[in-house]
Structure 1
Amino acid sequence: MKYHALAATGLTLLAGAAQAGGIERRGDPSQLLFEEGKNYVEFSVTSVNPDVSGSARPGAPGAPTGDIQERYQNFGLGYKHQLNDKLSLAFVIDEPVGADVTYDGSTTFGGGSFFGTSTASVESVRYTGMAKYKATDRFSVYGGLSYVGLSGSLLVVSPGTGGTTATNPPPGPGTTGSYSLAVDKDFQVGYMFGAAYEIPDIALRVALTYESETEHTFSDNTGAPFDVKLPESWTLHAQSGIAKDTLLFGSVRWREWSEFQVAPQDFFSFSTGAPVNTPIAFGTEDVYTYRLGIGRRFNENWSGAFVLGYEEQTGNQVGNLEGTDGFISYTVAVTHETENWEVTGGLSYIDIGNATTSVASFRDNDGIAFGLKFGVRF
């Protein structure tokens, strides 16, 4: 029996990853090292359509926000080579984080929402080279380096927003302050390492992976530098055969999102009447993301899986360019494979947690994600 196909069905469809950790879109890439075969290549794509809308909080001006999260696609490409019985190598290109936010309506003074016409975009790319050494039949260690690029642009429009006080004084009656910034990709090097314990006869594998932070330096409109940290993480993967042709699998991922913020020095809030330099985006606390799934082989060519995803709703105030707080996801996936190739398709429904920002409440939101993965062994 090929347990690897069942594991791939459930674990590579990015079930719920559309909302994990706020802007996180891809997790730990190390599991490619465990694919079977001398050479293995895979390509994956996920299309996500979130529906995130809210209404003004009591006492806050503005109309409903409309749907602020844009549909997006996320891509990944990986190659694994089995050098010998002990050593395997892998290379992965993916997009670890991202954001696509648009307040489509007019501004507050045009009868729209508090942040009407505001936009935010985050783009990333990650190149990861890894190696795994099999010390014994049951124990292995692995590690590698990542080269991570991060860029973004934003336009913040609201009655309480502006740039440096010299160029954007506090907005008066009937006016709206604005702030815009675009930064090119900044590349930084990170690292990862991990260890795994396996009992092949029952498809048991437990693997723990650490990924370091990367700290990216940008310049605001005045040329002053500010740093954006993509935080460190730990991920625990586990799987085991529990009956003939049946696999139980899951993961727990922790990431230090409390260290994340975007705080250019020339951005100011005038909500208290006096200019105050505040972060545009920020994380309120560390995030745990859980997955639990079961896979079943139907015959030699077909298998399927069901996966639950969960991220706790913290109840903390989130940024105005986010609008989400935790999720529950439900994913079904089906794999068709032959001796040399396999295709997996999956569909996720994401129940997005209620969230509160400084001026709006986001309730009863959800999303749909579709994933496709194609793998070839040679």
Structure 2
Amino acid sequence: MKKALLQACAVCVGASGAYAGGLDRSGQGVNLIFEEGSVVQFRLGYTNPDVSGTLGGVDSGNVAKDFFTPHLGYKTSLTEKLDFALIYDQPFGADVEYGSNYPLSQNPTSPFGGRTDVLRAEADTDTITALFRYKFDNGFSAIGGLRAQRLTGNVAVPAAAGYESDLDADIDFGYVVGVAWEKPEIAARVALTYNSKITHDLSQTESNNIVPPIPAGVFTADTDSEVVTPQSINLDFQTGVAPKTLLFGSVRWVDWPQSVYAPPVYTGITGSNLLDYDDATFTYSLGLGYQFSEEFSGAVTLGYETSTGSTVSDLGPTDGFWSVGVAGTYSIEKAKISGGIRYTDIGDATTNQGADFSGNSAWSVGLQLTYALN
């Protein structure tokens, strides 16, 4: 099975920011480690979501902003049995902003001089993974590596007395372990990888408006909180099913209940966490690729994430999805250029504050370049 076909399948699955779990973006894939020889790889996805709902008859507007999902990688063979890859991606993120007339964007202290803002949240992660693969006999291999992750963010909840939290950037570490089996004669591969949770000990500046009869003003405190980006398990598989035809897919489990953000000032005001989850998520994909010529291959994929049915955070108002995507790869000497497009129907959701979100969707596009160095 030609490598160009595998490239098209990879882009079709992950070329463009999945909307899994509301915050899950890159999928933490490790397919680069299976490339032959030494390669460099660049991928950039762009997602344009349309997510809106109503609370008390007031429209939220489109709360989800467009976002990019970059990926950079380098892979080489250190020996005949040992491979190494260095991967940069942004596995988790949020960029949400509500309209100014939305109930949760209203500061109850504003008539007394309270500041004006909107309900919003921005969170970014930048991750570098150093990954190794040791090849045993009979097609089996072991995968392992270390991951460094940087997290930063900013959150405003005007309805909580003009509350805002500005998080200092923090870097912490996790790991990846896994196993794989391959049979190149039929382009078969199964890979199971575990991504550890990463615990960030955050320093932040929390502030809110002082409520009368105390003289109007802003209360500010430098506080500490713990935030976890959750553990996850990825199962990826592929096999040739006919000449020039590849069946491929994946299953991803993410342990979202591990992710709790409870800054002390906010919990003191509201008596609740700023962010938490009730349920883990399972995300599935299944696709078919075909090699049309020596130079060109194409693929189509379907994606699905189960709906939990639980209420969700107003800062991530989605619950499950289904998607369809198409992609193609063109090979030019040592380079493989891939592009893909994906449509996602985002699941209806009810938020913790009783808002209803329905009829939402996202369009994503992605471009990937893989260049062989030898």
Would you call these one fold, judging by a TM-score over 0.5?
Answer: yes
Preserved CA contact (<8 Å) 1:213 1:230: yes
Preserved CA contact (<8 Å) 1:144 1:191: yes
Q: Distance in 2 between matches of 1:45 and 1:207?
A: 24
- The residue number in structure 2 matching 1:305 is 299
- The residue number in structure 1 matching 2:31 is 31
Q: 1:210 to 1:261 in 2, by over 3 A?
A: same
List aligned pairs for 1:232-251, cutoff 5 A. Answer: 232-251=231-250
- The residue number in structure 1 matching 2:147 is 146
Q: Distance in 1 between matches of 2:265 and 2:58?
A: 28
Deviation by residue 1:37-76 (Cα, 9 ceiling, x = unmatched): x2101000011000000012xxxx4611110000111101
Q: Distance in 2 between matches of 1:16 and 1:155?
A: 28
CA shift, 1:312, in A, is: 0.7
Q: Distance in 1 between matches of 2:104 and 2:348?
A: 27
Q: 1:310 to 1:15 in 2, by over 3 A?
A: farther
Q: Which runs of 4+ in 1 moved over 4 A?
A: 109-112
Counterpart residue type for residue 98 of structure 1 = G
Q: Distance in 2 between matches of 1:336 and 1:190?
A: 36
- The residue number in structure 1 matching 2:18 is 18
Please, which runs of 5 or more residues in structure 1 have no aligned partner?
162-176, 270-274
Instruction: Report SS of the residue matched to 2:58.
Output: coil
Preserved CA contact (<8 Å) 2:176 2:193: yes
Instruction: Give me the TM-score of the superposition, normalised by structure 2.
Output: 0.89
- The residue number in structure 1 matching 2:371 is 376
Instruction: Report SS of the residue matched to 2:294.
Output: coil
Percent identical: 38
List aligned pairs for 1:2-81, cutoff 5 A. Answer: 2=2, 4-13=3-12, 14=14, 17-36=17-36, 38-56=37-55, 61=56, 63-81=58-76
Instruction: Give me the TM-score of the superposition, normalised by structure 1.
Output: 0.88
- The residue number in structure 2 matching 1:212 is 196
Deviation by residue 1:322-365 (Cα, 9 ceiling, x = unmatched): 11111001000011013311111000000000000123100110
Mean Cα deviation higher: 330-339 or 115-124 = 115-124
Deviation by residue 1:213-255 (Cα, 9 ceiling, x = unmatched): 1000113433332111011111111000000000000000111
Residue 316, structure 1, aligned to residue 315, structure 2 = no
Counterpart residue type for residue 330 of structure 2 = H
Residue 202, structure 1, aligned to residue 186, structure 2 = yes
Counterpart residue type for residue 42 of structure 2 = F
- Provide the aligned C-alpha RMSD in A: 2.0
Please, which runs of 5 or more residues in structure 2 have no aligned partner?
108-115, 207-220
Q: Which has the higher helix share?
A: 2
- The residue number in structure 1 matching 2:259 is 260
Counterpart residue type for residue 208 of structure 1 = L
Residue 346, structure 1, aligned to residue 335, structure 2 = no
Q: Distance in 2 between matches of 1:253 and 1:239?
A: 15
